[in-house]
Structure formats: structure tokens, C-alpha cells
């Protein structure tokens, strides 16, 4: 009887939804990406990413509204697969990385939409300018990994207007905005 | 006629000198101007392409010039030159060579960090050595910028000295660089 009870409670415990937990974003294993795409002349998409960043989040499926995330990006790690362009992107015409080596995103609130979709509000500091942005986010999955850990993954997108962040280079009307895409996997601490 | 002798410059040295002068001034002007072009300027892609192409061709020219200098050394200094003039002029001329070589290397390092070759007017490609050190393009870019300003300052000094010899000292220093007899 005692054994059965123990087994039952253990089983119950294991089927419970994930508890509120803190996660570190898996930049170590590079299962996280801060990417962007911007139109080139209105004719094609140019993709790039930031290679160096770190962050963590806390997430509770039952209390989504209490979830939080913070992310710090090394702006000099911008990589668009072209050394001359990346040099230009790091310059004062764009990201001004000498003066603003870090970009940060700190969430302020989470508004649930449906199932796995939610709006993530937060303050983005980029090129020395802080503005509130809304990331349309989605939980992409969670569960145990094969090596004894527990992981949860999310992706989200938001559109930034270059001028809003004092990025002075004029790339033409089709390229006034850049679409940011965040795809992160967290490992439960 | 072709080679330098003890008192006068030969045609090859003269031509190499003036090609270098034109290319250095042109490269500086284009470089200074092209970094501020707007994205929709018709020169946005052409100006850097020409700058790099001419830069590579000048690098080859300077190699030939240094080789030629070895086979056919420059004439002796004009006899009326003072000792300090000779000393300063050889220091400045040495720095001009060092500056140009530094500019060739730093310029090359900016454009080839990602392994892309440099095309010279589409005639041939200079292969890339890839990433040789951290922050290569940015560091090389700063070196390229400061050395370019320094080189132009030295070039102006070099030119001003030639004019001083021509108009103030009224000697043959400048005339010799046009092939005149001393």
C-alpha cells in the first residue's frame, strides 16, 4: 500500500506540467540564434546574425504571464557573411559598436494569445537607444533531453525601424526596417 | 636613356616615379570620397572596385620599382644639396615606401578577411589569405586610414621640398625627375 502510494505520487509528479523554472540559453551548444533579415533594394532578402550573445529566462507553462527573459548581445559579433559589409555594419553608419558594444533586451510583460503563442513585451537597447518592442513569440517545444537535462525552446520575431534606433545609413525605402528573429533553446538550471 | 646613371634619372625610374605619384594622389582622393558615398550613388560599388584594382596594380608597380632600384640605383644627390637635406630626404623617401607597403597590406587585409579574393578590373583575382588575426578588417581599416593620412602628409612634404629646390634653391632636383640633364 505504501509502495503503491509512493509509486502513484511519483507518477503524478512526473506527469505534472513543468514547474516555474529558470533556464540558461544554450549558447554554449549554439542552440540559439539572433538573426535578422533586411530587404536589399526591395529585390531580395539579406540574412545576418549576431554570433555572440547570452541570456536566460524563467518560464512556467501554467503561469505564462510571469515568464521573463533577458538577453545581452555583443553587437560587434554581427555577421552577414561578408567582411567588408560587416565592417560597415559595425561602423557609425550602422551599429556603432565602438560606442555601443552591447545590445540588450529585457522583457517587461507576457501576453498570452493562444496555445503556444504569446506577445513578449520588453525594452530593447540598441545603438544606445532604448525602446519598447513587442516580439511575437511561440513556444516551439519542451521536454527532457537525451543527456539528463530539460530544455524548452522558443522563437519570436519583431520588426525594427532603423531610424528608431538612430541607425543613420539610408538603404532606401524598402530597407527602412529590419526583421529580427530570435530562436532560443534554454537548459533548465 | 633607360637606366639611371650617376647624375641623371633614366626613363624607367622617371615613369615609375610619376605613375606612383598619380596613383597615390588618386587613390587617396577616391578613398577619402568613397567612404561617404550614399547607398544609391552610382559610384557606391564602382569607386571601391577601382580603388582596390588600382591599389593592387600600384603594389605590383612598387615591387617592380624596388627591384629596378636594386638593378639601377638612383643617381647621386645634386651636389649643392646640404647634408641635412640629403638625410631628411632619404628618411622621407624611405617612409613613403614603408607607408605605401603598409597601405597595400592593410587594404588587402580589409577586403580578404572572409576569404573573398580581390578582383583587379576583372582581369585577374588576387587570392585571399582569409582571417589572420582577430578584428582583422576593423584593425586593418584603422591602420589603412591613419597611414593614408600620414602618407599624404609626407607626400606633400616631399612635393614641397621639390618645389623649394626648384624655386628657392634654383637647382636641378625637380628638373632631374623630368629627365633633364643636371
Using alpha carbons, select from A71, A81, A80 the residue that is nearest to residue A26: A71
Asked whether residue B1 is assigned to any structural domain, the reply reads: no
* Chain B residue whose CA is closest to A91: B138
Residue of chain B minimizing CA distance to A40: B39
pLDDT, mean of residues B147-166: 97
For chain A, give the number of residues. 189
* pLDDT greater than 90 at residue A114: no
Nearest to B40 among A82, A90, A172 (CB): A172
Average of per-residue pLDDT values in chain A:
91
Per the domain annotation, does A12 fall within a domain?
no
Q: Looking at the domain assignment, is residue A7 inside a domain?
A: no
Q: What is the 3-state secondary structure (H, E, C) of A60-108?
A: CCCCHHHCEEEEEEEHHHEECCCHHHHHHHHCCCCCCCCCCCEEEEEEE
Q: Which of residues 88-127 of B touch A (CB under 8 A)?
A: 110-114, 116
Number of domains present in the structure of chain A: 1
ipTM value, please give it.
Answer: 0.83
Residue B118 lies in a domain: yes
Q: Cβ(A83)–Cβ(B112) under 8 Å?
A: yes
Asked whether residue A8 is domain-assigned, the answer is: no
pLDDT in tens, B5-64: 988 999 999 999 999 999 999 999 999 999 999 999 999 999 999 999 999 999 999 999
Mean pLDDT, rounded, for B164-175? 94
DSSP chain B: --S--SSS--HHHHHHHHHHHHHHHHHHHHHHHHTT--TT-TTTTHHHHHHHHHHHHHHHHHHHHHHHHHHSPPPPPPTT--HHHHHHHHHHHHHHHHHHHHHHHHHHHHHTTTS--EEETTTEEEPP----STTHHHHHHHHHHHHHHHHHHHHHHHHHHHHIIIIIS--SHHHHTTT---
**What is the end-to-end Cα distance of chain A in Å, rounded?**
35
Residue A90 lies inside a defined structural domain of this protein: yes
Q: Identify which of A83, A90, A172 has the shortest CB distance to residue B114.
A: A83
Owning domain of residue B53? 11-176
pTM of the model: 0.85
For residue B138, the distance in angstroms to the closest alpha carbon of chain A comes to: 6
Q: What is the mean pLDDT of chain B?
A: 95
| Inter-chain touch A169–B113, beta carbons under 8 Å | no
In a domain, B29, yes or no: yes
CATH, residue B129: 1.20.950
Cβ-based interface (< 8 Å): residues of A facing B: 76, 81-84, 86-87, 90, 169-172
- Is residue A2 included in any domain, yes or no? no
Q: Return the closest-CA partner of residue A63 out of A121, A4, A18.
A: A18
Residue A78 CA to residue A180 CA, distance in Å, equals: 13
Judge contact between B102 and B55, C-beta under 8 A: no
Name the domain count of chain B: 1
CA distance B114 to chain A (A): 5
User: CA-CA distance, A157 to A96, in Å (whole number)?
Assistant: 23
- Beta-carbon neighbour count of residue B171 at 10 Å? 16
CATH number, domain at A71? 2.40.128.110
- pLDDT value for A18: 47
Of A84, A90, A172, the CB nearest to B110: A84
For residue B82, is it within any domain? yes
State residue A115's pLDDT score. 81
How close does chain A come to B36, measured CA to CA in Å?
A: 9
Residue A10: inside a domain, yes or no? no
- Parent domain of A70: 19-188
Q: What is the pLDDT of residue A9?
A: 55
Evaluate whether residue A116 is within a structural domain: yes
Residue of B113, B138, B143, B145 to mutate when probing chain A, most A C-beta within 10 A? B138
What does the angle CA A114 – CA A119 – CA A121 come to, to the nearest 5 degrees? 155
Amino acid at each position: 500500500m505504501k509502495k503503491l502510494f509512493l509509486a502513484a505520487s511519483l507518477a503524478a509528479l512526473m506527469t505534472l506540467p513543468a514547474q516555474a523554472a529558470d533556464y540558461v540559453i544554450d549558447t554554449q551548444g549554439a542552440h540559439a540564434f539572433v538573426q535578422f533579415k533586411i530587404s536589399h533594394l526591395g529585390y531580395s532578402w539579406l540574412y545576418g546574425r549576431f554570433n555572440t550573445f547570452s541570456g536566460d529566462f524563467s518560464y512556467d507553462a501554467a503561469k505564462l504571464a510571469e515568464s521573463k527573459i533577458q538577453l545581452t548581445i555583443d553587437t560587434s559579433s554581427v555577421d552577414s557573411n561578408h567582411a567588408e559589409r560587416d565592417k560597415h555594419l559595425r561602423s557609425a553608419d550602422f551599429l556603432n559598436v565602438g560606442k555601443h558594444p552591447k545590445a540588450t533586451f529585457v522583457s517587461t510583460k507576457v501576453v498570452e494569445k493562444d496555445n503556444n503563442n504569446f506577445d513578449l513585451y520588453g525594452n530593447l537597447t540598441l545603438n544606445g537607444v532604448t525602446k519598447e518592442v513587442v516580439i511575437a513569440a511561440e513556444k516551439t517545444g519542451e521536454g527532457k533531453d537525451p543527456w539528463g537535462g530539460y530544455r524548452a525552446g522558443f522563437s519570436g520575431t519583431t520588426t525594427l525601424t532603423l531610424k528608431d534606433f538612430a541607425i543613420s545609413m539610408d538603404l532606401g525605402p524598402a530597407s527602412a526596417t529590419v526583421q529580427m528573429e530570435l530562436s532560443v533553446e534554454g537548459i533548465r538550471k | 636613356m633607360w637606366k639611371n646613371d650617376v647624375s641623371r634619372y633614366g626613363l624607367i625610374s622617371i615613369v615609375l616615379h610619376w605613375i606612383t605619384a598619380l596613383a597615390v594622389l588618386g587613390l587617396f582622393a577616391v578613398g577619402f570620397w568613397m567612404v561617404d558615398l550614399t547607398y544609391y550613388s552610382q559610384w557606391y560599388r564602382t569607386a571601391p572596385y577601382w580603388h582596390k584594382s588600382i591599389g593592387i596594380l600600384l603594389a605590383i608597380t612598387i615591387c617592380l620599382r624596388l627591384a629596378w632600384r636594386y638593378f639601377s640605383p638612383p643617381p647621386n644627390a645634386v651636389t649643392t644639396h646640404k647634408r641635412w637635406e640629403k638625410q631628411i630626404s632619404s628618411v622621407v623617401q624611405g617612409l613613403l615606401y614603408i607607408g605605401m607597403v603598409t597601405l597595400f597590406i592593410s587594404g588587402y587585409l580589409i577586403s580578404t578577411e572572409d576569404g573573398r579574393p580581390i578582383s583587379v578590373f576583372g582581369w585577374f583575382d588576387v587570392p585571399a589569405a582569409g582571417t589572420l588575426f582577430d578584428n582583422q578588417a576593423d584593425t586593418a581599416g584603422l591602420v589603412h586610414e591613419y597611414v593614408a593620412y600620414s602618407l599624404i602628409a609626407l607626400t606633400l612634404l616631399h612635393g614641397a621640398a621639390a618645389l623649394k629646390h626648384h624655386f628657392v634653391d634654383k637647382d636641378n632636383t625637380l628638373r632631374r625627375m623630368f629627365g633633364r640633364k643636371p
